[in-house]
Amino acid sequence: MKEKILLFLGADWDKSLLIGLPIALCVLVTLFLDFFGFEVPTALYVVDGLLILGAFLHFTITQGLVTYVFKRTGEALVVVMVIATLTFLLLRLVPGGPFDQEKALPPEVKANIEAKYKLNAPIYEQYFDYMAKLAQGDLGESYKYIGRPITDILAETLPSSVQLGIYALLISFLIGIPAGVYAASRHNTMADSLTMITAISGVALPSFLVAPLLILFFSFYLEWLPPALWEGPEYYILPIITLGVRPAAVIARLTRSSVLDVIRSDYIRTARAKGLSEMVILYKHVLKNSLIPVLTFSGPLVAGVLTGSFVIELIFAVPGMAKHLIQSVSNRDYPLILGTTLVFSLVLVFANLIVDLLYAYFDPRIKLT
Amino acid sequence: MRAVLMSLLSLTLILGTAGCTKKKKADYDLDIATTLRINISTEPPSLDWHKSTDTTSALIQDNMMEGLVEYNLTDKELGLKPALATEWRAENNNQTWFFTIRKGVKWTDGQELTAQQFIDGWQRLLTPATAAEYAYFLYGIKNARPFNEGKLTDFSQVGVSVTDKGELKVELTSPTAYFPYLLTHHSTFPVRLDVIAKHGDQWIEPGKIVTLGAYTLKVWDHDKAIVLERNEGYYGEKAKTKHILAYMINELSTALNLFNAGKIDAQTQLPSTELRELRKRAEYRETGILSIYYYGFNVKKPPLDNPIVRKAISHAIDRKEVTQMLDGGQIPLTSWVPPGMFGYEPNMGTEFSPDKAKQLLEQAGYKDRSKFPKIEIGFNTNDDHKRVAENIQAQLKRNLGIDVELKNEEWKVYLKSLKTDPPHIFRLGWLADYPDPDNFLNLMTSYSENNHTRWGSKEFDDLIAKAVGLATQEMRAQVYTEAQKILTEKDVPVAPIYASVAHSLVAPRVVDFPFNSMQRFVFKGVSLK
Amino acid sequence: MSTGSTSAVIQSPSVSPSVPRKKPQSLWGDAIKRLKKNKAAVVSAYFVLLVCLVAIFAEQLAPYPFDIQDMSKILQGPTAENWLGTDSLGRDLFSRIIFGARMSMAVGIFTAVISLVIGVFVGAVAGWFGGKMDAVLMRFVDILYSVPTLVLLILVKVIFDSVQMFENPELKALTGITLALSVVGWVTLARVVRGQVLQVREMTYVEAARALGASGPWIVIRHVIPNIMGPIIVLLTYQIPSNILFESFLSFIGLGLQPPFSSWGVLANEGWRSLRTYPHLMIWPGVALFLAMLAFQLFGDGLRDAFDPQMKGKT
């Protein structure tokens, strides 16, 4: 029995599965509990964190990638600093200031405000001031939400955004990969074409059109799900689907083409010639190899989910951070714009780093230097 | 390795199942039957009533705090009634005011209200370091302005003090008939400096904040919701509804969906294109508000430097067509002061007349329309402003034969353009700070920060200055009529378009929802069926 | 938002190594032959062509001008006079969708072209000169990749909206949005072009040209660029719909095209809030958008397969 399972899972990636599966299982259990509205014990998060960290360390050390990871982390920090600088400068190019409003302020009041936020200082001074504070982890105070530290705002809104993003990514993989494999296994048939047309349709509509359609159907026609808010599992479903549709479609297409690629390769032919069953071939050899391109796409995928989440957060009233990303720009709330931009950049940069590491892990031919 | 992983895994699962007992709270454990659920659109920028400047924060503050006086919301004309002051009187031709502070009012921590707490509040508002935007609200008080500028550092010289009888005495720089109206505003509320000193910027969080209104702040779940709870120690009649749950739903169509799904009881802003359908519903209400929507002319930009051209354009705009298109019950307006307060002149201004408009344009020397320079209508990016601008563009083409271009700008960019180089014609609106015509007419004085037309008239300025000192409403109304004539018939630096209307949906179970022309949402009188 | 659809295909290793590098003529001939066999792609190509024609001849095709208002016909459903109904100013929705095709296509194509010029230039310079130049340029590209697209897009859109360099009102309306989208759009192109140039530069005939004393820029223009046209064209076919979608997304935040002109994105955005009351306002622009996206994708897929004989040959 055990052999069979292992065979089914692909014996030659035994090792990766032995590490990967428990981690995935733990994380999934956590997500599952969280999704269904249970108060997840902190210990569980800690265990998840430790598991991931442990696997990560184990991998970097055994593969001799410690210096590489350090180097990349350093680079990432530099990139984030550059982004902070760019954004800071770009903000000053954008016309209109944070305290311009419909009812104009008397000059005295304006002077007081500018003095308080040091907006009357030369730009380079403001810049160095900001960077110095940033280095200490202080992102300043919001102009719009008077007196509120940016870190507080981020800490309060990030969890919902992360929840939304992770669920969306999860379902996009859960739908996208099987759909892609299915289409590839039925290559050049009706089923293949249908799956792919569906997938293309998934990227053909902007989410602000998909969302109202889903709300109309599920909330008002069927009356199954609430039309908005973020208060429990039934509330999560529509936003997650709306956000997940696009990445799911992209993953399906990607999986299909890379599975096709692998199927045509010589070693699969050899495997076939050896008389291994189709199922074994598909899971043991094909899936592993064809997941690599899908994996490399995870970086841009994270970016897409981050960007797309704004529409979802707005339409479904999710108390997340992407909303602040947009609204802070219209408010010219400089510290908040910078804060949210930095968080998003950090997520992107590290997503890319992790993807590169996973890439190296799954494909030993790739050397990271 | 394997053993370690397996044990970790089982540990996780055990922990997971162990933690499965507690459900997350969704609606803050409130009983819906005694909770009024509303939508305040956004996270309130600050609950500090000296620092906030927006209507969302004001709504929460108005329910947990009070000023010396408050609006009588059941009065159509919005008179004032006693709140923290039991009575008040003016001396010296409306220039010195006395307020008797109510006895026995208790803050939520049990301390009694004193007159000094008002002075503390005003001093805080005016202190330069507070950087309060609404500091200018008190600029009418003697020496308040120099104190706010930092030129004067001794607050005792500012014209506010406590008399021997314990009254609050306010000295103004000039006669101001409407002064008590300012005291309904949150920026003039009293404050507990000891609480602020104790908690710093965090003093506005639940558990720390000390207030005295009909409700207290129970939960502030940032970016999600606020829960207010009835203040059982309130000095007046206790609030009728136990809790108020205020969601922060930004998107109007989302709020409408939630209303339709029965998740919120009242929504006081509606998507404008839906009004046509929504007005068929029993829950729908239209409320006239003290707000105008107007097009301003940049009188320094040719050809609009010629008053005849401005007049021609104003005559060529059929306000009725605009309001019909918007279909939200807006009232076409050709004069300046909106209906709902004295000084409203329904028959004043440039009436719609394409013939007159064409005649005037020809008189100005543009018989050949091709000689008419290209002009621009500017507005800030917004679907409704866009619709109005597109409609007026079409009207000017149809009624006057001139081509205008539309230019929309993002809000803050637009504000900057208005300050530095306003387009030929620009859209703006004005919402009353206090229900007095002065608030509207003052806007167009040559020294007003909000007059972006570049137009100024000594005659007009003098009339406005004169009116605030007059004793009776009739006398003031007469002067305002004269001023409005200059503004909308003689010089025409502005073309008023309509007086705005607020649209709301309120569930049938809500009784006595506070509809009023100042959009003050004080919920203590609201009950639920 | 829609970066996914384009970069996905391009970054997939199954595509990039298979650059056709034979003589251009046979490449194009083969490609077209292969394309013709792909029915979905052919139908899509015709549809794209149709949209282009509609965009060009909008004045002749539309029953009404796009901005004529009729206050007696506000927000009507489909009638004999207005086939797809009217909007909140009584304008004919069908005509507005036809004119919307023009603006949407203009945004898509202009942006793609500007991105192409910048992307090819930067990519070619980085790939050809290599070394420090390459390192600096590519690091810059990396940084742009890590900036959240949305923030960058909004900021540059607000800045570029004040750029006024055309008298023509349609071009004026397009300037801000096109420039803003290009700032974001060229990055992917630069990466791909650089990769291609790096490969082509080592080819014998290029080395031969170099040995014969041809100058760098000449070789790049004469030999390298024509050889990487295939992947570039495929990329462009993906860029156009992606730009159109991005534009609709900017309309959503209120930063789209300047009125009174409407793209499909602007129209859809005017309509989505009224789905329950006036469904036609959202459905028809949505359908137009959907069909065009679908066609561009299928056509793009067809082109990619056509230019990638390695892949097709094996089926």
**What CATH number should be reported for the domain holding residue B177?**
3.90.76.10
Residues of chain C contacting B387 with CB distance shorter than 8 Å: 88-89
pLDDT digits (tens, 9 = 90+) for B420-444: 899 999 999 999 888 889 999 999 9
Compute, in degrees rounded to 10, the torsion defined by CA atoms B374, B377, B380, B381: -70
Residues of chain C contacting B386 with CB distance shorter than 8 Å: 259
Most confident of A179-183, B62-66, C37-41, C226-230: B62-66
Across the range B40-57, mean pLDDT stands at: 92
Which amino acid is it at C221?
A: I
Which amino acid is it at B467?
A: A
Q: Is the pLDDT of residue B474 over 70?
A: yes
**What CATH number should be reported for the domain holding residue B207?**
3.40.190.10
The residue with greater pLDDT, B149 or C202, is B149
- What is the predicted pLDDT for the residue at B102? 94
Q: Please give the Cα distance from B344 to B480 (Å, whole number).
A: 9
Q: Please give the Cα distance from B175 to B199 (Å, whole number).
A: 39
Q: Does B406 touch chain A (CB under 8 A)?
A: no
Q: Does A100 touch chain B (CB under 8 A)?
A: yes
pTM, rounded to two decimals: 0.88
Q: Does B9 touch chain A (CB under 8 A)?
A: yes
Beta bridge pairs of residue B429: B293
Residues of chain A contacting B209 with CB distance shorter than 8 Å: none
Across the range A217-237, mean pLDDT stands at: 90
Which of C66, C68, C71 to probe the B interface (max B CBs under 10 A)? C71
Domain coordinates in residue numbering, chain C: 50-55+104-311
Phi, psi angles (nearest 5°) of residue B81: -135, 160
- What is the predicted pLDDT for the residue at C1? 37
> How are beta strands B85-91 and B96-101 bridged, if at all?
antiparallel
- What is the predicted pLDDT for the residue at A48? 81
Nearest by CB to residue B276, choosing from C75, C158, C254, is C75
- What is the predicted pLDDT for the residue at B121? 95
A311-315, B12-16, B116-120: segment of lowest average pLDDT: B12-16
- What is the predicted pLDDT for the residue at B25? 55
- What is the predicted pLDDT for the residue at A25? 78
- What is the predicted pLDDT for the residue at A292? 75
Cβ within 8 Å, pair B222-A232: no
Which residue from B minimizes the CA distance to C74? Answer: B325
In this complex, how many residue pairs, one in chain B and one in chain C, have their CB atoms less than 8 Å apart?
64
Compute, in degrees rounded to 10, the torsion defined by CA atoms A225, A227, A229, A232: 0
The reply to whether B176 and B205 lie within a common domain is no
Domain that holds residue B299: 287-502
The reply to whether B346 and B249 lie within a common domain is no
- What is the predicted pLDDT for the residue at C219? 79
Q: Please give the Cα distance from A66 to A56 (Å, whole number).
A: 10
- What is the predicted pLDDT for the residue at A15? 61
pLDDT band at B23 (very low <50, low <70, confident <90, very high): low
Nearest by CB to residue C159, choosing from A94, A203, A257, is A94
Alpha-carbon separation of residue C190 from B304, C147, C151 (angstroms): 49, 16, 21
- What is the predicted pLDDT for the residue at C315? 29
Q: Is the pLDDT of residue B354 over 80?
A: yes
Whether the CB-CB separation of C45 and C299 falls below 8 Å is answered with yes
Greatest pairwise CA separation for chain A in angstroms: 86
- What is the predicted pLDDT for the residue at B106? 94
Q: Which of B160, B191, B222 is the last residue of a domain?
A: B191
The reply to whether B240 and B312 lie within a common domain is no
Rounded to 5 degrees, what angle do the CA atoms C31, C33, C38 make? 95
Cβ within 8 Å, pair A227-B26: no
Q: Does B46 touch chain C (CB under 8 A)?
A: no
SS (HEC) of chain C: CCHHHHHHHHHCCCCCCCCCCCCHHHHHHHHHHHHHHCHHHHHHHHHHHHHHHHHHCHHHHCCCCCCCCCHHHCCCCCCCCCCCCECCCCCEHHHHHHHHHHHHHHHHHHHHHHHHHHHHHHHHHHHHHCHHHHHHHHHHHHHHHHCCHHHHHHHHHHHHCCCCCCCCHHHHHHHHHHHHHHHHHHHHHHHHHHHHHHHHCCCHHHHHHHHCCCCHHHHHHHHHHHHCHHHHHHHHHHHHHHHHHHHHHHHHCCCCCCCCCCCHHHHHHHHHHHCCCCHHHHHHHHHHHHHHHHHHHHHHHHHHHHCCHHHHHCC
- What is the predicted pLDDT for the residue at C313? 33
Average per-residue pLDDT in chain A?
A: 83
Q: Does B324 touch chain C (CB under 8 A)?
A: yes
Cis omega (within 30 of 0) for bond into B44: no
- List alpha helices for A316-364, DSSP H: 322-331, 334-362
The reply to whether B185 and B204 lie within a common domain is no
Q: Is the pLDDT of residue A5 over 60?
A: no
**What CATH number should be reported for the domain holding residue B439?**
3.10.105.10
- What is the predicted pLDDT for the residue at B336? 95
A287-296, B331-340, C112-121: segment of lowest average pLDDT: A287-296
pLDDT digits (tens, 9 = 90+) for A130-145: 999 988 889 999 999 9
Q: Please give the Cα distance from A361 to A16 (Å, whole number).
A: 9
The residue with greater pLDDT, A266 or B437, is B437
Closest CA to A76 of A272, A263, A367, A356: A356
CA distance B380 to chain C (A): 10
Which amino acid is it at B439?
A: N
Alpha-carbon separation of residue A15 from A12, A365, C123 (angstroms): 8, 17, 40
Domain coordinates in residue numbering, chain A: 1-62, 149-362
Q: How many Cβ atoms sit within 10 Å of the Cβ of residue B462?
A: 13
Compute, in degrees rounded to 10, the torsion defined by CA atoms B359, B360, B362, B364: 170
Q: Please give the Cα distance from B507 to A168 (Å, whole number).
A: 35
What CATH number matches the domain at C50-55+104-311, 3.30.420.480, 3.40.1010.10, 1.10.3720.10, 3.40.120.10? 1.10.3720.10
Residues of chain B contacting A41 with CB distance shorter than 8 Å: 15-16, 18-19
Q: Which of B191, B215, B241 is the last residue of a domain?
A: B191
Cβ within 8 Å, pair C275-A213: yes
Q: Does A158 touch chain B (CB under 8 A)?
A: no
Residue at token pair 């993002």: B410
Residues of chain A contacting C44 with CB distance shorter than 8 Å: none
The residue with greater pLDDT, A146 or A21, is A146
Across the range B188-204, mean pLDDT stands at: 93
Alpha-carbon separation of residue B209 from A311, B46, B99 (angstroms): 35, 12, 26
CA distance B130 to chain A (A): 8
Which residues of A, range 276-295, sit inside 8 Å of B by Cβ?
Answer: none
Q: Tell me, which fold does domain A149-362 have in CATH?
A: MetI-like fold (1.10.3720)
Across the range B232-247, mean pLDDT stands at: 94
Whether the CB-CB separation of B139 and B145 falls below 8 Å is answered with yes
- What is the predicted pLDDT for the residue at B497? 96
Cβ within 8 Å, pair C258-B408: yes
Q: Is the pLDDT of residue B400 over 70?
A: yes
Cβ within 8 Å, pair B250-A317: yes
Four-residue CA torsion sign, B219, B220, B226, B228: positive
- What is the predicted pLDDT for the residue at C67? 80
The reply to whether B269 and B327 lie within a common domain is no
Alpha-carbon separation of residue C54 from A44, B28, B79, C299 (angstroms): 59, 55, 61, 18
Across the range B315-328, mean pLDDT stands at: 93
Across the range B28-52, mean pLDDT stands at: 92
Instruction: Give the mean pLDDT per block of 10 residues along chain C (315 residues).
Output: 34 36 59 81 92 91 84 84 86 91 93 92 87 88 84 86 78 88 88 83 78 78 78 85 90 81 89 88 92 90 74 36
Q: Is the pLDDT of residue A271 over 80?
A: no
- Number of structural domains, chain B? 3
Q: Does A229 touch chain B (CB under 8 A)?
A: yes
SS3 B488: helix
B514: left (phi over 0), alpha (psi -120 to 50) or beta: beta
The reply to whether B126 and B166 lie within a common domain is yes
For A213, the enclosing helix (H) or strand (E) is helix A207-214
Cβ within 8 Å, pair A206-C275: no
Q: How many Cβ atoms sit within 10 Å of the Cβ of residue A362?
A: 16
Alpha-carbon separation of residue A199 from A175, A296, B96, C5, C297 (angstroms): 10, 19, 74, 11, 11
Express the helix, strand and coil content of chain A in percent, nearest 5 each.
80, 0, 20
